């Protein structure tokens, strides 16, 4: 697979790059960013995957996430994909809403028309992009972890729960933990996967845990001033599922913080240090 370099910038002694490639999964061009920290030539480095939330592209966390200092210190590669296919002919929400279609792929492979042709974000982030990144950057594929925000927190948790041998750690900022039970998720899963709610369970972290999926531990932060907390995020559902399954969950309620990148950037360093301890242990 070939890719085009969109931009390269030096940061904290490493390199922040933005890249574009033709995706076989989405049948569109896809853009993603990769930060490679300073390192000795020939060294393979652990990689942290970051999945973004509704309306975002690769650029939101790349420009606002404040991860590079910690990644340089800890020796972590940081990869940020887009959240959906884009381009001419890619269908969006019929009413141009922000929570479905463009910028809202929900990290599933759609089965419903007209979305099935392009909206294959599950296969993109779990198969195609990891292969491209492993071929193109100094990644140690035996040391991978994943985190995300909101819709991307949903994606990170479900990807980790369904690939327990691949990711050594998983964490999330303000994740949608039970999309089958909240308006954002019901709209997205119904629109992409159809009306059979049984097929939704493999894309619902709480349902996956109820059905037997396990992780060694989890770190989740949310702000108690998050405007989406009670209707869309519902962290108490994840807490209950983890307690019942005996999954160690560190669930941190951050007073006064909202859903924005001010919140994410404040606690990004904590998450990356938590990941680094598991990636290097």
3-class state of residue 132 by DSSP: helix
Tell me if residue 39 is catalytic: no
CA–CA dist 120, 21 (Å, integer): 15
Q: Phi then psi for 205, rounded to 5 degrees?
A: -60, -45
Catalytic residue among 150, 154, 203, 221: 150
Of 90, 86, 87, 85, nearest to 107 (Cα)? 85
CA–CA dist 271, 238 (Å, integer): 18
Both tokens of residue 84?
């959906």
Catalytic residue among 58, 259, 271, 275: 259
> Is 161 exposed, middle or buried (CB count within 10 Å of its CB: 0-12, 13-18, 19+)?
buried
> Is 88 exposed, middle or buried (CB count within 10 Å of its CB: 0-12, 13-18, 19+)?
exposed
Catalytic residue among 145, 149, 226, 271: 226
CA–CA dist 281, 277 (Å, integer): 6
The strand order across the sheet containing 77-80 reads 4-11, 14-22, 29-36, 77-80, 45-51, 139-149, 167-173, 218-223, 249-254
Tell me if residue 224 is catalytic: no
* Spacing of C-alpha 157 from chain mean position: 8
Tell me if residue 226 is catalytic: yes
The catalytic residue positions are 150, 226, 259
């Amino acid at each position: 697979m070939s890719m085009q370099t969109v931009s390269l910038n030096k940061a904290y002694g490493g390199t922040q790059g933005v890249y574009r490639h033709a995706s076989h999964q989405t049948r569109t061009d896809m853009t993603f960013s990769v930060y490679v920290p300073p390192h000795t030539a020939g060294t393979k480095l652990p990689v942290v995957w970051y999945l973004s939330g509704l309306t975002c592209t690769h650029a939101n966390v790349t420009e606002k996430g404040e991860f590079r200092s910690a990644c340089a210190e800890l020796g972590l590669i940081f990869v940020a994909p887009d959240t959906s296919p884009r381009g001419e002919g890619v269908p969006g929400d019929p009413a141009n809403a922000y929570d479905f279609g463009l910028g809202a792929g929900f990290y599933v492979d759609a089965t419903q028309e007209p979305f099935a042709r392009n909206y294959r974000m599950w296969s993109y982030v779990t198969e195609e992009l990891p292969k491209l990144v492993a071929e193109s950057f100094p990644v140690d594929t035996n040391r991978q972890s994943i985190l995300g925000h909101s819709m991307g927190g949903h994606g990170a948790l479900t990807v980790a729960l369904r690939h327990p041998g691949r990711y050594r750690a998983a964490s999330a900022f303000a994740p949608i933990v039970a999309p089958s039970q909240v308006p954002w998720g019901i709209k997205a899963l119904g629109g992409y996967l159809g009306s059979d709610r049984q097929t939704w369970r493999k894309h619902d972290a709480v349902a996956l845990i109820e059905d037997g999926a396990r992780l060694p531990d989890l770190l989740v932060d949310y702000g108690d001033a998050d405007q989406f907390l009670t209707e869309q995020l519902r962290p108490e559902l994840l807490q209950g599922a983890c307690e019942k399954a005996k999954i160690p969950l560190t669930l941190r309620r951050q007073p006064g913080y909202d859903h924005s990148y001010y919140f994410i950037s404040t606690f990004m360093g904590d998450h990356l240090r938590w990941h680094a301890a598991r990636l290097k242990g």
